Amino acid sequence: MKDVKAIVLTGYGLNCDYETEYSFRLAGAEACRVHVNELIENKGILRESHLLAFIGGFSWADDHGAGVILASKIKNHLFDEMQEFIDDGRLIIGICNGFQALVNLGLLPAIGKNFWERRVALTYNDSGNFIDTWVRLKVNQASPCVFTKGISSIELPIRHGEGKFYAPDDVIDDMIQNEQIVFQYEENPNGSLNDIAGICDPTGRILGLMPHPEAFNHATNHPDWTRQGKTGLDKGEGIKIFENAVAYIKENFL
């Protein structure tokens, strides 16, 4: 059987690349870290891959807004290749800064499969402060999201200064009707409308979320792992998200 190939996009202040690569490998994928410039110069890398991860960090230091420059660079240099990647039914995940980039690109929420049109925003937390904590998330079982199959709730860490999800009422209504709201905070840490922590496109193949599943790749990542009766041999709950993605590619492409 051929390998499931995952690209973890790196460069210019992105800093969760090793954890994300490790998480994909734990899930059974052949993962590699690829600098955004390398991807632009060698577009064949994208065509040969099944999964693309936009990761956390502070791309271009968020100087012009979180994920703004990364989104502009991708759209200007990889528009056709990204559209082909989406049309082929491959998978994209955006985590934290990656979610912000997908929103700026318009790949989320892509209501009516209208990609490349920005409809929502991730803006400054209501507290005005950077937040670094663990949150429990409700997972929408009716969502078409490929990444969350079999997950009803999950606890993950967040670390962001611009994580408040904002959108006009009609856009949120459309997302509710289409079951595109995938993750909601049980206790809202940042003021996100409708407690939204993550959304998908109408196909369920593009996912964006502010919490970090790659940062819960091992049981001992959790501050209460001993109280939970976990051992050093246990995977973290976040790996299930990556395993679902790998299983989907194996079933539909390999």
Residue 1: pLDDT above 60?
no
Q: How many domains does the chain have?
A: 1
Q: Check which CATH number belongs to the domain holding 17 and give it.
A: 3.40.50.880
Residue 205: pLDDT above 60?
yes
Annotated catalytic residue 212: yes
The mean predicted confidence, pLDDT, of the chain is 96
| Confidence band of 254 (pLDDT split at 50, 70, 90) | confident
What tens digit of pLDDT does each residue of 47-80 get? 999 999 999 999 999 888 899 999 999 999 999 9
Question: Residues 160, 212, 218, 222: which is the catalytic one?
Answer: 212
- pLDDT recorded at residue 99: 98
Residue bearing the bigger pLDDT, 1 or 44: 44
Residue 27: pLDDT above 60?
yes
Percent of the chain with pLDDT over 90: 92
Annotated catalytic residue 32: no
Question: Residues 214, 218, 237, 243: which is the catalytic one?
Answer: 214
* Residue 36 main-chain phi, psi, to 5 deg: -55, -35
What tens digit of pLDDT does each residue of 149-187 get? 999 999 999 999 999 999 999 999 999 999 999 999 999
Average pLDDT (121-139) is 97
Average pLDDT (202-222) is 97
Query: In this structure, which long-range contacts are made by residues 76-83, counting pairs with CB atoms below 8 Å and at least 24 apart in sequence?
Result: 77/40, 78/39, 78/40, 78/43, 78/46, 79/116, 81/43, 81/46, 81/47, 82/46, 82/107, 83/115
Range of the domain at 89: 5-252
Question: Residues 16, 96, 145, 200: which is the catalytic one?
Answer: 96
Annotated catalytic residue 16: no
What tens digit of pLDDT does each residue of 226-235 get? 888 887 778 9
What tens digit of pLDDT does each residue of 81-111 get? 999 999 999 999 999 999 999 999 999 999 9
